[in-house]
């Protein structure tokens, strides 16, 4: 059993640390197994150590301690060009003096491939990113999205077992970015190549990945498939970083298995899932997704019932966000599909609302803002 699992792993970070100045650790004790064929995303705020981790895997940075294994072998002393890894970066420029076809041929020629094989591979790579007719153009004659597709093709053309992408779509506008997200995802599905992708865009991470590793201050906070990360965040950082979130500060009143009761500042009690809490008396923060809050009659079956004063409506086409004053907070949001919105609801109304125990998570307190 353990052996089968080991065979499924392509990359292992084992106790990897990185310091640039010999004092502060930018990456702290990174332990991570990346499976063969997996699309794994490193997601986290700026400065959390994503690029540093990727650079160590690529071989452009050396771990301060620990070990990185590729297909079971330590690569600590293997230079970048011998690691068989393709790379795409946000500003990884194409060679401007070479045509698109020459750019794609380059990684193959340096590997000593014959001219006919090169031509065949280049043709296939161009077709993969739907640029069949563009082989003769120079990079400057392409749009940003087309250039990024060539960069993608160049990273894949030598059929590496592993491709690293660091914010490859960061420079593109929203529409093109979303199109390229699907394109990269489909290429990944077709080729079965292992991808390690870096972004600080949570939507991008959730859309594209098999698993997402959430980074914060050089540590993985949680690693899980997108749905699990969204529905079952393990701590406040993840709950707040992924998706929208109502947070209410409170104190742990009592604990009973995986359930708990939390007292709010004004004395109200909330029954919640005990996810990451200490002892009774300790501070906690409650996390409730806006789409899980039920209004009016829909709240009758909820274990937690309160009332809220409607402060604002924000229309977003298919759904509406309603800002309410609830439990002393003025920024409590409820999200409703347009079709379910009570047309009579107006600013100033006081309405009953509620949420089920399984939709409120008691987590570690957030640092004071
Ligand atoms: N070559 C370097 N020398 C010194 N410090 C560095 C170097 N590269 C990165 N750092 C520092 O390490 C920390 C992590 O940087 P890193 O580039 O890994 O973050 P990141 O998660 O990729 O952030 P972003 O989302 O902004 O790209 C930052 O504080 C950064 O200033
Ligand atoms: Mg970075």
User: Same structural domain for residues 176 and 148?
Assistant: yes
- Residue where the block lists tokens 């490859």: 168
pLDDT at 4 (0 to 100)? 47
Q: Residues with Cβ < 8 Å from 318, sequence gap 6 or more?
A: 337, 338
Number of folded domains in the chain? 2
Both 186 and 332 in one domain: the answer is: no
Note whether 190 and 105 are same-domain residues.
yes
> 250 CB under 6 A from ligand 1?
no
368 within a domain of the structure (yes/no): no
Per-residue model confidence (pLDDT) at position 1: 41
For the chain (369 residues), the mean pLDDT of every run of 10, in chain order, is 63 97 95 97 95 95 96 92 87 86 93 92 90 95 89 89 92 83 90 94 94 96 96 95 93 96 94 96 96 93 96 94 94 94 93 97 84
Residue at 369 is within a domain? no
Question: What is the SS3 assignment for 104?
Answer: helix
- In a domain? residue 77: yes
* Same-domain status, 142 and 38: yes
* 204 exposure class (CB count in 10 Å sphere: 0-12, 13-18, 19+): buried
Distance of alpha carbon 358 from alpha carbon 73, whole angstroms: 44
State if residue 26 touches ligand 1 by the CB under 6 angstroms criterion: yes
Q: Is residue 257 part of a domain?
A: yes
Q: Looking at the structure, do residues 224 and 351 belong to the same domain, yes or no?
A: no
269 in the same domain as 167: no
Q: To which H or E segment does residue 245 belong?
A: none
User: In which element (H, E) is residue 254 found?
Assistant: strand 246-256
Domain co-membership, 187 together with 308: no
Note down the domain range covering 103.
6-236
Q: Give nearest CA residue, ligand 1 atom 3.
A: 20
Q: Give yes or no: residues 80 and 171 share one domain.
A: yes
**Same-domain check for residues 131 and 158:** yes
pLDDT of residue 351: 96
- Please check whether residues 185 and 311 belong to one and the same domain: no
103-110 long-range contacts (CB < 8 A, ≥24 apart) are 103/139, 103/150, 103/154, 104/135, 104/150, 104/153, 104/154, 104/157, 106/154, 107/154, 107/157, 107/158, 108/157, 108/158
Regarding the beta carbon of 47 and ligand 1, being less than 6 Å apart is answered: yes
Is 173 exposed, middle or buried (CB count within 10 Å of its CB: 0-12, 13-18, 19+)? Answer: exposed
User: How many Å lie between the centroid of ligand 2 and the Cα of residue 219?
Assistant: 15
Read off the tokens for 200: 């600080």
Pocket perturbation via mutation, ligand 1, pick of 27, 41, 50 by most ligand atoms within 8 A of CB: 50
Q: What is the CA radius of gyration of the chain?
A: 25
Looking at the domain assignment, is residue 94 inside a domain? yes
Count of beta carbons in the 10 Å neighbourhood of residue 192: 9
Q: Is the dihedral of CA 182, 184, 188, 191 positive or negative?
A: positive
Give CA–CA dist 276/366, Å, rounded: 12
Asked if 266 and 317 sit in the same domain, the reply is: yes
| pLDDT value for 12 | 97
Shared domain for 229 and 252, answered yes or no, is no
Q: Whose CA is nearest to atom 18 of ligand 1?
A: 49
- Angle, helix 115-128 to helix 144-156, in steps of 10 degrees: 130
Q: Which of 236, 257, 285 is the last residue of a domain?
A: 236
Residue 70 domain-assigned (yes or no): yes
Q: Do the domain assignments include residue 298?
A: no
Q: Is residue 24 part of a domain?
A: yes
Gap from CA of 48 to ligand 1 centroid (Å): 7
């Amino acid at each position: 059993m353990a052996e089968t699992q080991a065979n499924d792993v392509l990359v292992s970070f084992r106790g990897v640390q990185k310091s640039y100045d010999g004092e502060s650790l930018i990456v702290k004790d990174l332990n991570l197994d990346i499976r063969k064929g997996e699309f794994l995303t490193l997601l986290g705020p700026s400065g959390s150590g994503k690029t540093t981790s990727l650079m160590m895997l690529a071989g452009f940075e050396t771990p301060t301690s620990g070990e990185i294994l590729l297909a079971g072998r330590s690569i600590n002393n293997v230079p970048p060009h011998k690691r068989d890894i393709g790379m795409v970066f946000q500003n990884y420029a194409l060679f401007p003096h070479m045509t698109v076809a020459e750019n794609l041929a380059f990684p193959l020629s340096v590997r000593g491939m014959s001219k006919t094989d090169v031509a065949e591979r280049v043709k296939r790579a161009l077709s993969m990113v739907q640029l069949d007719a563009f082989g003769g153009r120079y990079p400057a004659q392409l749009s940003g999205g087309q250039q990024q597709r060539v960069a993608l093709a160049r990273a894949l053309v030598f059929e590496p077992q592993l491709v690293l992408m660091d914010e490859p779509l960061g420079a593109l506008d929203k529409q093109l970015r979303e199109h390229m997200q699907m394109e990269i995802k489909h290429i990944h599905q077709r080729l079965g190549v292992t991808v390690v992708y870096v972004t600080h865009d949570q939507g991008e991470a959730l859309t594209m990945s098999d698993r997402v590793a959430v980074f914060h201050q050089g540590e993985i906070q949680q690693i899980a498939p997108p749905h699990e990360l969204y529905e079952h965040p393990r701590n406040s950082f993840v709950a707040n970083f992924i998706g929208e979130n109502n947070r209410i500060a409170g104190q742990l009143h009592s604990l009973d298995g995986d359930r708990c009761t939390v007292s709010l500042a004004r004395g109200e009690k909330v029954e919640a899932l005990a996810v990451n809490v200490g002892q009774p008396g300790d501070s906690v923060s409650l996390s409730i997704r806006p789409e899980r809050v039920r209004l009016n009659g829909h709240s009758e079956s909820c274990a937690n019932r309160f009332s809220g004063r409607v402060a604002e409506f924000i229309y977003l086409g298919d759904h509406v966000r309603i800002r309410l004053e609830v439990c002393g907070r003025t920024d409590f949001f409820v999200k409703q599909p347009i079709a379910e919105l009570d047309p009579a609801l107006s600013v100033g109304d006081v309405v009953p609302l509620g949420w089920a125990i399984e939709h409120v998570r008691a987590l570690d307190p957030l640092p004071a803002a």
